[in-house]
A and B are shown apart, each in its own frame.
Chain A
Amino acid sequence: MKAWDAPESLLAPLVIGASQVTPGSLGVLDAFDAAVGCVPAAETETWVGPMKRNRQSASITLQPVNAELAKPYNRRARLVVRNEGEAADIAAHRWWWEVALVVLKDGTAMPAIGQDRVTALLEVTRFTILSGTMRGAWQLALLRHLWSESLRSQDADIQILGGQRDWKMNWITPAAPAPSAAGSPGRKK
């Protein structure tokens, strides 16, 4: 196993090498755009106003970053806390994490990915930790999984290396015990 091939890490980048994704790199980017749209928003509340005494409805939302701000990546998306009625660009500063996707020049990831393949890198470019927990973990796991699944369905011969890309249904079953900070074993499929 390569040291950076860590299928349980939500933070490790995903590197793909595709030979049949069509057309060109668009398939890689389209899969990302679609995956962003498929991550549901979650309801929450924030405290606003003087001394933060008033509660306000908000949502934890995954929103794309506009193309200019996404550079030098081809795509970026941010999970943000967005107050009701708030503009996306204001909420963008209240991020929990951000992922960025770049289609690389041929050979950038050699020898792990062959030179004749479309090579792309999905990176977690921003994340936050609060009270020992990574925030927005399930949304990140879902995005990575949906992107990978779409590419797999287009290219049976695709190479995917790096961090987490599989989804485990037992993550979303209720009453799953939380592992201790000392490092209890993860949940198995």
Chain B
Amino acid sequence: MDFRSTLLPPADETWITNGGIIAGAVVRSAAVSLRASGARSSGRTKGRGSPLVDAFLNMPASLWVERLTLQMWSVTLGLRDADPARVRYDWQLTVRCAPDASGAAVQIQTPRYRMTDGALVHGDLHDYLRETIASGFTDGAGDAQDAEVLISRIGLAKAKWPTTQAALDSLPRGFEIQTSLSTDQLRHAFSRIGLPIVAGTTEDRAWRLGLSDDSRATVIVSDLGEQRRVTGSLAIVPTGNLTADQILRHSASTFCNRLRNLIRQADAKAQWQASASAAPGTGKVSS
């Protein structure tokens, strides 16, 4: 199956960006508006078995949307497995934006599909998607975000949040690093931590841990002549919310791992010592 149309990008000043973003919005918008919520996909690839086995194998189909290359998208309905050989395609539709001799062009194809009794499995969904994508390219993508916003809201509302208590007690509260790195090299390492910075001076830094400024990591650098000592402190304030505390725990672990790795990349002999209590003089943050 093949469909071609000459378009892209719509000459619309509300889309002041490059064509790839517009094309992505058209494909995403069409896919999320498909609402394949009721679609069920048979685990069987061919042949017919007993109704009981068919019923057992019937599972809800997933819709997978992928950007395969910078110019190509894929929308697939079917069942997925970790083993790529066991993927069950109802159909796969690809969208390719590739300029040709006539100018910008879009190709919509169906490279994989499954037929049952002479009909495409979930053919109505396939045809709807193909038409929606085609009309998105020809008519513009002005309302593209509406379906995305809705699916985002539903996704967050139905989210399964963490249900276990975060092990905050096992986190170190202080650490000390002895290193031969210079102050400038340490400053470079600090600049690559990647967590939100909540305070910073020439030698002292503080990063936010988790979602609130109440929890933070602080470091102070002391010059010991040939060596530098980095003294750190982690202020961990539990929030009482399971999700926020899990994020806090991962944030603190990420901070320690990144700092240790960044320093060891430059100084393999750097000594790291963690402690269960905050190091003296690092409890307060200079801003």
Contact = CB atoms under 8 A, between A and B. Distances in A.
Interface in A141-189: 141-142, 146, 149-150, 152-154, 163-164, 167, 169, 171-173, 176-179, 181, 183-184, 186-187
Contact of B196 (A4, A37, A44, A149): A149
Contact of B149 (A9, A40, A123, A178): A9
A129 B151 contact: yes
B194 to A, nearest CB: 3
Contacts of B81: 93-94
A49 to B, nearest CB: 13
A125 B17 contact: no
Given A26-B192, A38-B250, A169-B211, A93 B84 contact: yes
Given A2-B15, A93-B83, A177 B157 contact: yes
B155 interface: yes
Nearest to B152: A10
Given A2-B14, A126-B65, A9 B195 contact: no
B149 A134 contact: no
Nearest to B154: A133
Nearest to A21: B191
A42 B14 CA distance: 39
A34 B195 contact: yes
A108 B171 CA distance: 43
A106 interface: no
A102 B258 CA distance: 21
B35 to A, nearest CB: 6
Contact of A123 (B16, B24, B249): B24
Chain B, interface size category, equals 35 or more
Contact of A40 (B154, B162, B192, B198): B162
Interface string A106-123: 001101100000000101
Nearest to B148: A9
Contacts of B17: 2, 4, 15, 109, 112
A56 B104 CA distance: 49
A51 B152 contact: no
A32 B194 contact: yes
A109 B251 CA distance: 32
Q: Most chain-A Cβ atoms within 10 A of its Cβ — which of B24, B142, B156, B188?
A: B156
11 contacts: A2-B14, A6-B149, A10-B156, A13-B24, A34-B255, A40-B247, A129-B63, A134-B151, A138-B159, A153-B208, A183-B150
Q: Which 6 pairs from chain A and chain B are nearest by CB?
A: A34-B194, A137-B155, A132-B37, A37-B254, A134-B155, A6-B145
Interface of B: 12, 14-18, 21-22, 24-25, 28, 31-32, 34-37, 56, 60, 62-67, 70, 80-84, 141-142, 144-145, 148-164, 166, 188, 191-198, 208, 211, 241, 243-244, 246-247, 249-251, 253-255, 257-258
